[in-house]
Structure 1
C-alpha cells in the first residue's frame, strides 16, 4: 500500500528580480514522514532560498519569479493562508537571534504559541514540555540576551518544537557553536527524533556528528540544481570528483580516510578500522624569535557590571599565525575588538609598535590592523560588492587600474566573481562572509584579526581563504583568527590562545594543547582534531597488542 509523501517538490525554479540567472532550477524531490535529510551544497547555491520556499515565505515575499509547485500533505503551499504553513513547517535559522522578539525565555516560546491560538490554559504546560525537550527548563525565567550561543540555538529549537511541526528545518544550526555545544545540540536533535516522529531537514557544511542519524542527502550544485539524491556513503563512492568540484564538505574522518586509504570510507569515528592507522607523534617546533608587534598588559573589560575580560596580558609577534579558541561566551570576540582598538578596555593598556594604542589616529591604525567582524553586515558601507572591496583602495587614492586589478583578483580568490554589481545585503550568508574577508585582505595591513571567517563556507571557499591567509602569513602578516574549527587550529596555527571565562587558560603551540587531558579540553569546550584522535586510537591499539599474551 503506497502512502503519499509529506513533502513533494516538483520542477521548482526561482529567480530574483536583481539577477539574470536562476538561483534554483528544476528542483524535484520527495520527503516521507519521519525521514531525515541532509541538504548540502556550496555556499550561495540556494539552500536557504529553498527553505523559504518550503515554509511559504516565498513566493509571498519574493521580489522575483517562482515556477513549479510544492505540495505539503498533498496540498499546494500557495493554497495555505499567510502564516498558516509555519504551524507545520518550523525553521531554525542560521542566526537564532534574528528569530527572537521577547525579553525572557518563557515569553519567547509563549509568543509563537499565542500566534497559533493555543488555549491559554495549555500554554504553560507546552512551554515546560518544550524546555525539557532541549534541557533548558532551568532557564524558563532567564533573559534571552544572557544566554550563551548554544543555549540560544536550543531556545530557537524549543520555540519551534512547542508548536509541534510536522517538518523541522535547521539551517546551519552549529555554525556559531563551539565543538562541545555543537555535539550537545546534535545529541538533542537525535534524542528528539527518537521521542517525536517529525520529519527533519538539516542544512550543514560540517557533517561530523550528523551522519549517525541522517537517512539520505540531497546535493545542490552552484547553479541551484539537484545533482545527487541518496545516501552520502553511496555518493562518495559514485561521484566523489563532483563532490570535490562543488566544494561539498565530507565528514572529517571521511576526508582523512580518503587521503590515506581510499578503499575505506568511514563516515563516523566508530567505523574506523585500526588496521590502516599508523602515526608518529609530531614534534613541537622550536619557537622563532620575532619582533613584538603588539603588547597587551592587564586588560579587563566589563559590560553591565559583568566581567567579560579579566586581567589578560599577552604579546603578539610579527608573522605569527594565532588561533583564539574557547567556549561560546568566553570573551573571544570582546578580546579581539579590544586588541584591534575597536573597543576600549575598562583597565589595562595596549602598545602597538611601542606606541600606546590610544595615540594612534584611526586612519593610521587601520593601515596596521584589519578586522573582519563575526557579523559581516557590521562592516558594509557601499551599495555594490565591487565598491565594497574597492572602498579602502579609493581612500588611499590608488590608481584606477590598480583598483580594478586588485578587486578583480580578490573577488576571484573569494569566489565572488560575477557578483560585482550585487548589493552586499542581497548575498547569501556565506557570500557575505567572504565579502567581509575580501574587504580586509585587499589591503596590506601588518595584522589581520578575523572573527570566525570560515563558518558557513563550503570546502572550496574555505580552502581558498585559508591558502590566501597562509600566503599572507608567509609574507610576515600576523594572522589572529577566532575559530571553533579544531582542524584549522591543528593545520594552520603556530600558536593557540584558549580563553575560559574571560581569562587566558592556555597559550601554546597546538601540539602542546592536544597533550592536555581530554577532560581539560572538554572543560574549555574544545575537542581533539581528527588526526590526533586517530593518533590516540593508534597508540591505544599498540598498547593493547603489546599487552596481549
Structure 2
C-alpha cells in the first residue's frame, strides 16, 4: 500500500477560469524522499492543501480526482485529523500560528493530540534544539525574525511526529549557514525516524545531495516528469529553463563555463565537478569578475543610528553613507537586524537615536507623500503592503495618489504587469495569488514610481529561476539609469553576481562593509552565519587539491 496516492487530481478556483491543477497523479512510499519542482504559481502549494485535507473542505472552487493516505481518501478524515499524519510547514509560516509565545505554539498541537502533560515540556525542548531555537522558548512569536518564525513552524510540525513531512520552501528565509544546517537536520531526522519527505523548493542546492527523485510541474499545473532529478536535468536543460525551474548553482556555473564535458556525469554538487576535474589535464582558472564604478555623491546618510524595541537594542550606533548608483546587498544571520535597519533607512521606522539625511535634507523634515516618491520599499512579507482589491488597482494606487493622468497610469501599469509576469491577473484579488505572485506584485507596486532609492527585503523569496532573473535584470537596469539599490538577501549567488558593495549586519551592527571580492577573501564568514557563493567554493576546493592556477 502506498503511503500517499494522488489520482487524476483536477482543481479550479471559483474566480479563475483556467485549471490550477490538471490531471495530477503520483504516489509516495513510506520513508520515501522527493522534491516537488515547478515555476511559481503552478499550483505546488495548492497541491499540499489537498494532501493535508484543507481542500476540498475549505476550497472556494471545485476539485475532482482523489488523494488517498494509507488507502483511505483524505476527504474521509475528520477536520484536523490529517495534521496528525501529514505535517506541513507552509510557505508563509505566520499563517499557521495561533498562540502568543513560542512554547505555547508548540504545546498547542501536542495538547490537541492528547500528549501526556509530563511529556510536553521535554518534547518542546527537544524540537527547539533540533531547529536551533533553544533560547527562544519564552519569547513572543511577534519578536522573532522571518527566519526564526520559519524554524518555529518546523518545530511545531516535528513535535507532532508526522508520517509525511511536507516543507514548502522551508529555507527561503534562512541565512546560508542556517540553510545548510537545516537541510542536514532534515536529512538526519528523516533517516532516523523514517518519515516520508516532500520538499517544495526553488533553490535545490543541498537537497539534491540526498533526494534523488523529482516530481516536476509546468506553468499549466500539469505533471511533466516523475523520476531521477539528475536524468531529467541532463536531458531537458532548455525546457527546465523555459519553465523557470532552477538548477543547483554549481550546475548553472558548469553550464556557463562549459565544464560539462569534463564531468563523468551531470553535475549537481561541487563534489561532482571536482571529481570530473581530478582526471582532467586542463588547468582551471577563476578570473575576477569586474564591477562598474559608482558615483561619490551621497543619497542617504545615517549618523550614529540606534533603535530600541521593548528595551532591547536592535540597531546599535550605525553610521553609513549610501552613494548614488550603488547596488548594495545587506546580509547577515537571521535576527541580526537587517530588516529593522532597512526600515529605518526607508523612513518607515524612526530611530531611537541618531540622524538620517536624504538628498541633503533631514529625513524627518520630508512629508510622507514626498518620501514615497523618492524611496521605494518592498516588505519581506508582501501581504504587509497590499491595500486594494485587484492587482491592477494595487499597482495603480500610488500613481493615482500623485494625480497622474489616467491614460498615463494605464500605460505604466500595463508596462509593469508585463515586466513582473502578472499579465492576465489584473482583476484578481491580491490575496488569491500564490506567494511568489504576491511577491512580484509587491515589487511591481513599488517600481512603477521610478524612485531614486529602492530598498527591497528578500525580493526573490518564493520566486522561480526565471522570475528571479527577470527581477534582478530589472533592478540592474534601474541601477544603470542611476537608481540606488539596497537589497536584503540570503542568496550569496545574487550578492556575487549583482552587488558592488556588501553590508554584513551582526547583532545590529555593521561589522563589514566593502566590495564582495573583499568579503570572499575573509576565511571566517561562518562567524556571521554566511557561506561563500559556489564560484568561490569551487575555487577554494581546487586550490586545496592543487588543480588551480591563478589567472
TM-score band, normalised by the shorter chain?
over 0.9
Q: Distance in 1 between matches of 2:418 and 2:283?
A: 38
Mapped pair 1:316 → 2:322: yes
Q: Distance in 1 between matches of 2:370 and 2:240?
A: 44
Match of 1:515 in 2: 521
Q: Distance in 2 between matches of 1:237 and 1:248?
A: 13
Q: Distance in 1 between matches of 2:331 and 2:304?
A: 20
Q: Distance in 1 between matches of 2:318 and 2:304?
A: 5
Match of 2:411 in 1: 405
Comparing 153-162 and 249-258, the one that deviates more: 153-162
CA contact (8 A) 1:100 1:108 kept: yes
Q: Distance in 1 between matches of 2:24 and 2:491?
A: 32
Unaligned 5+ residue runs, structure 1? none
CA contact (8 A) 1:35 1:215 kept: no
Offset from partner CA, 1:430-471 (integer Å, 9 cap, x none)? 000000000111112111111110111000101111111111
Displacement of 1:542: 3.1
Offset from partner CA, 1:270-297 (integer Å, 9 cap, x none)? 2223346722441776854421111110
Q: CA RMSD in A?
A: 2.0
Displacement of 1:486: 0.6
Displacement of 1:155: 3.0
Match of 1:470 in 2: 476
Of 63, 66, 77, the match for 1:80: 77
Q: Distance in 1 between matches of 2:415 and 2:394?
A: 14
Displacement of 1:150: 4.5
Match of 1:391 in 2: 397
Mapped pair 1:524 → 2:524: no
Q: Distance in 1 between matches of 2:132 and 2:388?
A: 43
Of 451, 454, 467, the match for 2:457: 451
CA contact (8 A) 1:166 1:199 kept: yes
Match of 1:219 in 2: 216
CA contact (8 A) 1:389 1:435 kept: yes
Of 195, 199, 203, the match for 1:198: 195
With over 3 angstroms needed to count, the CA separation of the structure-2 counterparts of 1:278 and 1:397, relative to structure 1, is same
Please show how residues 267-278 of structure 1 align to structure 2 within 5 Å.
267-273=268-274, 274=277, 275=280, 278=284
Unaligned 5+ residue runs, structure 2? none
Partner secondary structure for residue 307 of structure 1 = strand
Please show how residues 267-346 of structure 1 align to structure 2 within 5 Å.
267-273=268-274, 274=277, 275=280, 278-282=284-288, 287-346=293-352
Q: Distance in 1 between matches of 2:337 and 2:107?
A: 31
TM-score, with normalisation over the residues of structure 1?
0.94
Q: Distance in 2 between matches of 1:80 and 1:187?
A: 33
CA contact (8 A) 1:277 1:538 kept: no
TM-score, with normalisation over the residues of structure 2?
0.94
Offset from partner CA, 1:73-127 (integer Å, 9 cap, x none)? 0001111111111111111112323322233433222211211223434434544
CA contact (8 A) 1:150 1:182 kept: no
Displacement of 1:377: 1.1
Count of residues in Structure 1 that have an aligned counterpart in Structure 2: 541
Of 466, 481, 485, the match for 2:491: 485
Match of 1:538 in 2: 542
CA contact (8 A) 2:302 2:356 kept: yes
Match of 2:374 in 1: 368
Match of 2:68 in 1: 71
Of 47, 52, 55, the match for 1:50: 47
With over 3 angstroms needed to count, the CA separation of the structure-2 counterparts of 1:143 and 1:338, relative to structure 1, is closer
Displacement of 1:532: 1.4
Q: Distance in 1 between matches of 2:377 and 2:406?
A: 25
Comparing 375-384 and 36-45, the one that deviates more: 375-384
Displacement of 1:543: 7.0
Match of 1:179 in 2: 176
With over 3 angstroms needed to count, the CA separation of the structure-2 counterparts of 1:318 and 1:64, relative to structure 1, is same
Q: Distance in 2 between matches of 1:385 and 1:432?
A: 9
With over 3 angstroms needed to count, the CA separation of the structure-2 counterparts of 1:298 and 1:8, relative to structure 1, is same
Offset from partner CA, 1:479-525 (integer Å, 9 cap, x none)? 111111111111111111111111111110111111111x2x11111
Of 260, 263, 266, the match for 1:262: 260
With over 3 angstroms needed to count, the CA separation of the structure-2 counterparts of 1:383 and 1:151, relative to structure 1, is closer
